[in-house]
Amino acid sequence: MRHGRSRLLILLCAVLLLGAVGCGDDEKTDTGGGGGGDGPDLSGTSLEVAAVWTGTEQENFTKVLEAFEEKTGAKVKYTPTGDDIAAVLGPRISANKPPDVAILPQPALFQDYASKGELQPLDDVVGDAYGENYADVWKDLATVEGKVYGVWFKAANKSLVWYNNAPFEDAGVEPPEDWDGFVETLETVSDSGISPLSVGGSDGWTLTDWFENVYLSSAGAEKYDELTKHEIPWTDPSVKEALELLSKVFTEDFMAGGSKGALQTDFNTSVTQVFAPEPKAAMVFEADFVAGVIKDETEAELGTDAKNFAFPSAGEGDSAVVGGGDVAVQMKKGKGGEELMKFLASPEAAQVWVELGGFISPNESLDTGAYPDDLTKTIAENLLDAADSGNFRFDLSDQVPTEFGGTPGRGMFKILQDFLSDPSDVDGTAEELEKAAAAAQK
């Protein structure tokens, strides 16, 4: 209805010889369909979007932007920043030349920009979309000091264990349902003659994901939130309990190459050596994006050779999901940026990338039948269910100061690598984590 009325207004303006200026603003956003699609007419509007994505992810996100261009007539330039997006955006913000829209991979960075007034508030732009398309947790994560500043576009399910089906069949084991069953499975697989676990310990972020999953399921969501905000110390008994549980898994017999080998293994290798023709391990823990490595770098077939199960719960409650994600923010005021934010909050935008693969959307209005395979569909549904039930929490290390949670060779990365090397020192590890967390907040 809105688009038809807009076209009628254009016709009346022409008849009355009032001209285009009398019918809209400079970006022509009040006239529908002029871009050749069914959206607002943004012909003549140029936008820039910055994000960390390169390679296949860049190609797929570009398809999303092309759909927006077709819908509106706008022209969108994509700027890949590489992993350190803050190093690219910082100088541009200082020079008052930010991109129209940026997509940030860390809530801590998002909150920092919002609190400094460097983002445009979006309550009047995408507020309705949050009520219709997202679980409450995503709105909470997009809100700073009572205002919405972001749209969660891409999500990750970080609570998955991937396994090579052949070693599982050889050992006669099935996917476990809880932590005790997981440890028993590791023992049985080890006794069958193959290392049960491949751990990418040279990338410290994989170890933070290990800790977060064990802590969320053993301590519960409330404690997880308190620890994230440093309302309880890292020497709390709940932290030590999680480290004790991890120490039962980070053993020489369970990890391919032992602790030394694990500390020399990067994430990609931790995946490929599980799904090689002669695998070095039976399982690898990590997020849904493991599927991309399996598909691109091994001959294993997803769903047959390569399968997964939910991270085993170390507590008494339902299985919890630790997730990650990328949040779109509007950095430059303008109607074009607002319309792009609305588009990114829609199931229409999400479906473009979902159908291409390698993508999970937190948008609940998207038909999960759009996912290209049952494996990805199930992973996405598990994440959505956890978000709805309150059993979803965002990656802790992405929410704390980067110096503590996201810097190679420092903070959580380094301390958990030391713990992987010697998992017997639980008290010392907790003390080091507390010391680093406290220092990062000064």
Integer Rg of the chain from CA: 24
Question: In terms of residue numbers, what domain contains 105?
Answer: 39-157+324-392
pLDDT of 218 higher than 80: yes
Of 294, 346, 360, nearest to 370 (Cα)?
Answer: 360
Is the confidence at residue 11, as pLDDT, over 80? no
pLDDT value of residue 3: 39
What φ, ψ does residue 74 adopt, rounded to 5°? -70, 160
Residue 7 pLDDT greater than 50, yes or no: no
Does 19 fall in a domain? no
pLDDT of residue 36: 56
Average pLDDT over the chain reads 91
Same domain, 260 and 360: no
Give yes or no: residues 341 and 430 share one domain: no
Among 23-27, 123-127, 321-325, 372-376, the minimum mean pLDDT is found in: 23-27
Q: Are the C-beta atoms of 24 and 7 separated by less than 8 Å?
A: no
**Strand residue runs (E) in 174-285:** 195-198, 281-285
Answer whether residue 18 shows pLDDT above 90: no
Same domain, 121 and 201: no
Q: How many domains does the chain divide into?
A: 2
- Please tell me the total number of residues recorded for the chain in this structure: 442
Domain co-membership, 364 together with 253? no
Whether residue 355 sits in one domain with residue 215 = no
Token readout for 387 is 């978000």
Residue 378 C-alpha from the chain's centroid: 16
Domain assignment of residue 90, yes or no: yes
When pLDDT is cut at 50, 70 and 90, the band that residue 6 belongs to is very low
Confidence tier at 393 by pLDDT (50, 70, 90)? very high
Q: What CATH number does residue 412 fall under?
A: 3.40.190.10
| Those residues with Cβ within 8 angstroms of residue 277's Cβ, 6 or more apart along the chain or in another chain | 299
For residues 357-363, give the mean pLDDT: 95
Mean pLDDT value of segment 135-141: 95
Answer yes or no: do 149 and 111 share one domain. Answer: yes
pLDDT of 13 strictly over 60? no
Based on the fold, state whether residues 284 and 376 are members of the same structural domain. Answer: no
- Residues 92-117 have pLDDT tens digits of 999 999 999 999 998 999 999 999 99
Asked if residue 18 belongs to a domain, the reply is no
Q: Kindly report the pTM of this predicted structure.
A: 0.86
Q: How confident is the model at residue 14 (pLDDT cuts 50, 70, 90)?
A: very low
Look at residue 82 and tell me whether its pLDDT is greater than 50. yes
Q: Tell whether 343 is covered by a domain.
A: yes
Which tens digit of pLDDT belongs to each residue from 148-177? 999 999 999 999 999 999 999 999 999 998
Whether 282 and 410 map to the same domain: the answer is: yes
Rounded Cα gap, residues 74 and 51, in angstroms = 19
d(CA 414, CA 114): 29
**Span 279-286, average pLDDT:** 98
Longest dimension (CA), the chain: 86
Residue 13 lies in a domain: no
Whether residue 334 sits in one domain with residue 204: no
pLDDT at 8 over 90: no
The mean pLDDT of 342-354, rounded to a whole number, is 98
- Amino acid (one-letter) located at 255: M
Are 224 and 308 part of one and the same domain?
Answer: yes
Per-residue b/e over 210-241, b at no fewer than 16 CB within 10 Å? bbbbbbbbbbbeebbebbbebebbbebebbeb
Residue 6 lies inside a defined structural domain of this protein: no
Residues 172 and 301 in one domain: yes
pLDDT, residue 38, reads 78
Percent of the chain past pLDDT 70, that is, above it, reads 91
